[in-house]
Structure 1
Amino acid sequence: MRHTPHYILDDEVELRRLVRENPWCTIVSATSEHGLVASHYPFLLDEEAEQLTLLSHVGRPDETLHELGDHEVLVIVKGPHGYISPSWYEPGDIIPTWNHVTAHLYGTPQILSDDQNLRVLSRLTDHFEQHVVEPRGLHLDAEYSRRVARGTVGLRLTIDRVDARAKLSQNKPQPVARRIIDELEGDGPYAQSELAREMRRVHDPRDP
């Protein structure tokens, strides 16, 4: 990402929150055979690991396509984002921008055993099913779940380096930032309530 020091996000607590709230991520590999390869999968934090660590799986044959375990990969976590109109700025300011919260996370994946992969798949399912009225889990048919899991490969990714940004109009005066938040919370064509919430965390921590 563009080097913008005043937007750098290096707070691990905030990085963990970003992953928790935005689990659908992009994994990118620079492979020896296929060049750049990108896929999209849900990722969870390994809450038991001290270092920032992600858990996920890929469907076969993505593990060979990405050459997982052979080299570093990039996982892109994309949080709330949206267009910021210069009409929300002071008169005479005509340059628009795009606010966003984005993290690039790098590491070399560890390929999980079949049993470990099944546990990760169960955690993924249980994590998302907890919000439905009648949740279903892989434990309801353990043998069938084990057979289906053979079509996937689990991975654990310990993050070695991070390049993250929270670009949330920190370069604007507070009255302008508040106006942007109001517009994002409104009913206009570029309303984006989740982005407004992120901006409030920066510009008015008392009102998240």
Structure 2
Amino acid sequence: MRDNSDYALRDVDTVADLVREYPWTTFVSHVPETGLIASHYPVLLDEEAYASGRGIVLLSHMGRPDEEKHDLGNHDVLAIVQGPHGYISPSWYGYRPNVPTWDFAVAHLTGTVEILPDEENLRTLDRLVEHFEKDLPDPHLLHATKENSDYAARIVHGTVGFRINVASIEAKEKMNQDKPVASIRTIVEELCGPGLHHNPRLAARIAAVNHLDI
């Protein structure tokens, strides 16, 4: 990413929260025979590893044969986690001249890949499903019934679970930190409004980063 110290996100706890809140992740590998390969899967933050001080560790899986395309386990992988983002009109700043921009939060996480055995892969899939299902009125958990459990045991062989021990973090959060408070308030109001660029999640993020109440 372009280096810009004004928007650099160096707080690891904030990066960890970004993973928790926005788990849909892009995985990028460079494979000598085929070049760049990208795939998209949800991830979990390994909470036990994080609590023990091991830093950010990602848990995920790929459907076969994606792991072959990535040559998974034989080189580092880049995981891109992207938070809320959206267009910001210069008409919202309240002064001229100005130009439009795009606000965003993103983290580039690079690390080594550890392939999980089937048993641990199944536990990871179980945790992943529980993460998204647990608050639904009728959660469909992998091990809620014997039928679900038997089905999960069959499909696990069609996936490859893996752990990424993140060694490098490059993160950025561009949320109009360089603009006057009055402009930021207007931006938040416009994003919360019913217009073309309605984006309340981005508005909430801009307000939080700039310590504004909305």
TM-score, normalization by structure 1: 0.96
Structure 1 counterpart of 2:77, from 65, 73, 98: 73
CA distance in 1: counterparts of 2:187 and 2:180, whole angstroms:
11
Which among 113, 117, 120 is matched to residue 113 of structure 1?
Answer: 117
Question: How far apart are the structure 1 equivalents of 2:97 and 2:123?
Answer: 53
Matched residue, 2:166 = 159
Amino acid at match of 1:42: P
Deviation at 1:180, TM superposition (A): 0.7
- 1:54 corresponds, among 49, 58, 63, to 58
1:101 corresponding residue in structure 2: 105
Q: Within 5 A, what are the aligned runs for 1:1-208?
A: 1-49=1-49, 50=53, 51-139=55-143, 140=145, 141-204=148-211, 207=213
Q: Structure 2, unaligned stretches of length 5 or more? A: none
Q: 1:93 to 1:131 in 2, by over 3 A?
A: farther
- Over aligned residue pairs, what C-alpha RMSD do you find? 1.1
Structure 2 CA distance for aligned equivalents of residues 152 and 59 of structure 1: 4
What do residues 51-90 of structure 1 show as CA deviations (whole Å, max 9, x unaligned)? 1111000000111110111111111101000000000113
Displacement of 1:144: 2.0
Structure 1 SS opposite 2:185: helix
Residue 63 of structure 1 aligns with an amino acid whose one-letter code is: E
Structure 1 gaps of 5+ residues are: none
Deviates more, 1:126-135 or 1:77-86: 126-135
Sequence identity (%): 49
1:12: Cα distance to partner?
1.2
Distance 1:147 1:195 in 2: 40
How much does 1:142 deviate? 2.0
Following superposition, the deviation at residue 16 of structure 1 comes to 1.0
1:34 shift after superposition = 1.4
Specify the code of the residue in structure 1 equivalent to 2:72: L
Q: TM-score, normalised by structure 2?
A: 0.94
Amino acid at match of 1:135: P
What secondary structure is seen at the aligned counterpart in 1 of 2:6? helix
Q: Which amino acid aligns with 2:204?
A: R
Distance 2:75 2:97 in 1: 45
| Residue 93 of structure 1, CA deviation | 2.4
Which shows bigger deviation, 77-86 or 140-149?
Answer: 140-149
